[in-house]
Structure 1
Amino acid sequence: MEAPILAAVAAVAVLLGPAPVAARPAAARPLAARPASAAVPAPPCPRVPAPKVSRPPRPVPPPAVPEQRVVGGAGLDTAGLVVPAGVARPPALTATSWLVADLDTGQVLGGCGPHEYGTPASVQKLLLAATMLPRLDPKQVVTVTAEDMDIEPGSSAVGLVEGGRYTIETIWLGLLLNSGNEAANALARLGAGEGGAAAGVRAMNERAQQLGALQTHAVTPSGLDGKGQFTSAYDLALIARACFAEPAFRRYALTRQAQIPAQRTLRTKGFQIQNENQLIYRYPGALGGKTGFTDLARHTYVGAAERDGRRLVVTLLGAEPAPMRGWEQGAALLDWGFTLPRDASVGRLVEPGELDATPSAVPSEPAAPGTPRPAAASGPVEPGTLRIWSVAALVGAGGLLLAGLLWRRRARRPLS
């Protein structure tokens, strides 16, 4: 009788993820027996004073979902610092949350509020890339439409023109080197097939769920601010890992300059663009990444580098550019990560499809009249949906086995 129960307990522990080194000693209680609310408060994240600047109030995040905050390990459920025991203290930053992980093994080396909600800005373009790169032929020539050019005045644009004809690869370069918002609209529209950029955003949210990025909800393909648009440092690492698995993305991310061709029929000249990610110029072993900024999000950053055969990725949200710019804060975290032992870990990045997330039953923000509603999978996961059903199935199976064994024993007893 003990074997089925032990198997069920072991399966529950797997669902909850590995125990981080810094969060509990080896002799601590099992994760399933220790709810996150009972954890000892984590130390605060190392901070440097950020300059006082005028900024709009940050958007109110959705309510925290306990099951989402322990994805990758219970120790990641903290607003503070989580690092392996006995390692050097990470650098002080202005970023409100960050994470460092191994691109190849998926080990999380450390983080600051890894599951805290943040506003993505243009690092959301990585989710667009993770979604649409496998769908689009880079050699295909396409036409930019008026819908693609519908971006916020004064926001980042690469310089595509309505009616212009470009290869898909040129548009990807415009997106990843110069953070072109019109390029994002075009790629979302083209990758969706039908339904325009709105359908592309729905596909992005479905892709986020499939990757296990349960705290990510896209409203715009570009990362321009939208009501209800959030992500987390942990989710960005999952998304970045999917991007760096694509050979085309790795090539684009390291491209230093590209040519946007002339559109002679429209009487526009060609021009050259440069990669805005300073990491690729100034950090040995850099693999590329993505910068981002909006007034609401402040500075966001994703970057990766390789050293001695080890590839690390860093993600950060809510940073100010002084005394260090976003890419410099990322570089400092990479330096710290490369000093850690290869087996150091406080959690892990889940694999695509591992969580088998259930579409949410929580309603999204009310849509404006005529706005296509996002697919069910594009909202946050209903609290408890993911693990309650999994645990219920295990407990139910164990209960049936136990009931059967008790019935058999009772059947052997003489009637009183």
Structure 2
Amino acid sequence: MNGQVAKGFESVRDAFEANFSERGEVGASCCVTIDGEVVADLWGGVADPETERPWEEDTVSVVFSATKGATAICAHHLIDQGGFSLATPVADIWPEFARNGKESATVRMMLDHTVGVPVIREKLKKDGIYDWDYMCERLAAEEPFWRPGERGGYHGLTFGWTVGELVRRHSGKSLGTFFKDHIADPLGLDFWIGLPEEIEPRVAPMIFRRHQPGDPQPPFLEVGLNQPGSIPHLFLFNSGGFLSHGCNTREGHAAELGGAGGITNGKGLAFMYRPFANGGSWDGVTLAGADTIAAMSEVSAASNLDATLQIPVRFGPGFMKSMDHRALGMEGGIIGAQAFGHIGAGGSLGFADPENGISFGYTMNRMGEGLLLNDRGQALVDAVYESIGGMEIRGGGWRKAA
């Protein structure tokens, strides 16, 4: 293990070490800032078990749906600049999308997974997910699974185009280029949506977790494997194979997949969220004002049964909120009550907590059980909140002690 922690945050280092010794971690990175200052910057383990290449300070990996946070930040940056608002009809930005039952769609619905196109019904062409225009055309033609806004269903891959195309249409830049020009480069992030080939040697390949006999069957898999035509089934079997193999290919890394294809490390996630934990600005870079951050922090869609994930969920406009599923025996992700960010499949996580001045990032190569946060990431989050003192899990999230 390498890196450093500030005095008082030794428990974050202890949790990081325990992930390797007790929880099966292979390679990982974790970074935490408090009021903008780095209090933990850790990395270690093995990046590639086949070659025994170590996980270095600049090692990066696919963070799957933690990418959605980056895509949402692009949209909110445009909102903050007055480009459009959460209430703007999608028809004003992407008129081709607002048809076939989607005429009432708004920007907010695109961001909070209520717009109604979590998957595509018709079989995608081979490598279709790597063709931006093709995917946007398919989503524009798709009839919604429900009237936009009436219910929620996690848009696992489609989020990258439903939100990313709004960014592209308004800015005139591809999503990956906009993110690079307006977010990553100004903040000095090692974070890409569409990886340059010269960075490829730094990527840690993802190690998939295979379902073992006796493992609990998550509701998502129960429905997806046994109900053909269902939203979970289509997500599993009509998503272009990125989650099963494409994430370890050059083609997958190069594609601008705003829903699942971002590549970064713990520092990249923590530093991306750092401005939002500190009033919207950091080191001369301003990304959002107070009103925009307040909107990013709010819960705008919640359900006891997400149409895709088949579990209770809480979303802000583009972000996951704290979800305490312990009483249900399900995976979730407990963060600050006012925090917002996003989990990635296998357990990666980035978030900002404006109330407590925290930004956090965790990435790894060995994927854990479930779709949301597992015990490795949660242990790190818990150690952070315990370290700042006076905090307890109450009402579904970390809050100041009563």
**Normalised by the size of structure 1, how large is the TM-score?**
0.46
**Normalised by the size of structure 2, how large is the TM-score?**
0.47
Larger Rg: 1
